[in-house]
Amino acid sequence: FLSHCLQAKMSRPVQARRLKGVEKNIWVEFVKLAATYSKVNLGQGFPDFPAPDFLTEALMRALARENHMLHQYTRAFGHPPLVKVLAQLFEKLLGRELDPMTNVVVTVGAYQALFCCFQALVDEGDEVIIIEPFFDCYESMVKMAGGTPVFVPLRPNPPKDGKLMSSADWQLDPAELASKFSQRTKAIVLNSPNNPLGKVFSRGELGLIAELCVKHDVLCISDEVYEWLVYDGKQHIRIASLEGMWDRTVVVGSAGKTFSATGWKVGWAVGPDRLLQHLRTVHQNSVYHCATIAQDAVAQSFQRELMLYGKPESYFIQMPKELQQKRDWLVQSLDGVGMKPIIPEGTYFLVADISQFKSDVPDVPNSDEPYDSRFAKWMVKNKGLAAIPLSTFYSEAHKNNYTNFIRFCFAKEEATLKAASDILQKWKQEKTS
């Protein structure tokens, strides 16, 4: 009997079923490739310029203080100074009163806030609408929660005058979107400004989504980590401030993106207590606390920004200004060599159409791997330039719909962007000679 039990046990895989379908992660592969081959890394999304002085100085000040309780546990749902200043800031931004204790939860990066959302709110059998292209973790997190991802694409409508496309030209088809809502739809994930395209959803587009959420009683998980990186005088509109949305939306944000310090892993969720209470339950049963001293320094940085809000020295104003210049510079470089960039309205990512440029990388018939993925791998190995294939941001079923685009990150020093441009120029010359 015992050996029969053991046999049955041993024939079963050791890992839990919830890991099925979420084992692969493209970053593991592409980060390794970049580390091995790249001379210029415009792949993974992190700045190669320093985090602002005021952030690191805030950490140094915290360290210099004799208060060694900063090295011990703080309040589990968020260090009091941080939740207080986040509540103050978001009160301003959302136009409503917020309780720092119940309307804000601090997490280990926006990534963990997303995890808490899905674990707290998505049950087996629930459907979650994801807009393609999407930041890849949404799909795997929905699956791990036992949910079913339902995809709806942004479709490109290129301008008729042959000008370069903007991320605004990629749009949802309203009828197609409406058709994705069913009895089983639990939530829709919105990411604006959007990674990888850089799209900043307009008030009209958000209104459409909001109407459907209200009509079908669906939640909205709103990933707004790039909320401050918006260009050309555009405005980032928060869907939670639209009619009927506050009560059904969790807004996710990131200190890593706000303050160019992705390695600090401080994020948050803002929303109504009746949703956040469930995120708190997940949080207290998974990581429980976040690092105290990092939260303290981020709180101090937000206090600075709150004081400088709207003023030219505000980091929220300086950062997008600087990044817009870098965006424009990269757009020019890419256009100059025959890659067609889609001008992003926001984020620090830019997607370019490589169909005119792709001759070097041969087509492999019957290959499972989408063209852009092979192109990106070939490029990093042979030209030392790292970028991420757009197919990465699509579901398995749709990976081959857009295979001629790659994503560049332009949150880089001038020297890095120049080096990228040099590689591309040289490459173009080699092709034409």
Residues 232-291 that bind other proteins (CB under 8 A): 243-248, 260-265, 274-275, 277-278, 280-282, 284-291
- The one-letter code for the residue type at 189 is V
d(CA 250, CA 248): 7
Nearer of residues 115 and 371 to other proteins, judged by Cβ: 115
Q: Which amino acid is at 357?
A: F
Q: CA-CA distance, 169 to 322, in Å (whole number)?
A: 24
- CA 342 centroid distance within chain: 18
We find the least distance from the C-beta atom of residue 334 to other proteins, in angstroms, to be 24
Asked if 219 touches other proteins (CB under 8 A), the answer is: yes
* Binding positions for other proteins, 140-169, rule CB under 8 A: 140-141, 144-145
User: Letter for the amino acid at 185?
Assistant: T
Q: How far is the CB of 201 from other proteins (least distance, A)?
A: 20
Q: Which is nearer to other proteins, 162 or 263 (CB)?
A: 263
Q: Side-chain half-sphere of 111: how many Cα atoms within 13 Å?
A: 14
Query: Which residues, 117 to 136, sit near other proteins by CB under 8 A?
Result: 119-124
Q: Which CB, 124 or 161, lies closer to other proteins?
A: 124
Q: Does 53 sit near other proteins (CB under 8 A)?
A: no
Ramachandran region, residue 303 (left: φ > 0; alpha: ψ -120 to 50; beta: rest): alpha
Q: How far is the CB of 35 from other proteins (least distance, A)?
A: 9
| Stretch of 111-119, 151-159, 317-325, 370-378 contacting other proteins, by CB under 8 A | 111-119
> Binders of other proteins: how many residues, by CB under 8 A?
93
Question: What is the torsional sign of CA 391, 395, 396, 402?
Answer: negative
Q: What are phi and psi of 86, to 5 degrees?
A: -65, -40
Considering the rule CB under 8 A, would residue 27 count as an interface residue with other proteins? yes
Q: Does 23 bind other proteins (CB under 8 A)?
A: yes
24 vs 33: CA distance, rounded Å: 15
- Closer Cβ to other proteins, 42 or 337, answer by number: 42
396 scored as a contact of other proteins (CB under 8 A): no
Residue list 182-201, contact with other proteins (CB under 8 A):
183, 186
Which is nearer to other proteins, 395 or 403 (by Cβ)? 395
CA angle, 78 as apex, 97 and 50 as ends, to 5°? 100
What is the Cα 130 distance to its own chain's centre?
13
What contacts 24+ positions apart, CB below 8 Å, involve 214-219?
A: 214/243, 214/244, 214/245, 214/248, 215/181, 216/181, 216/185, 217/248, 218/129, 218/181, 218/185, 218/186, 218/187, 218/188, 218/248, 219/121, 219/186, 219/187, 219/188, 219/248, 219/249, 219/250, 219/275
Interface map 284-323 toward other proteins (x if CB under 8 A): xxxxxxxxxxx-----------------------------
Of the pair 119, 333, the CB lying nearest other proteins is at: 119
CB of 309 to other proteins, least distance (A): 24
Toward other proteins, which CB reaches closer, 63 or 306? Answer: 63
User: Between residues 154 and 279, which has the closer beta carbon with respect to other proteins?
Assistant: 279
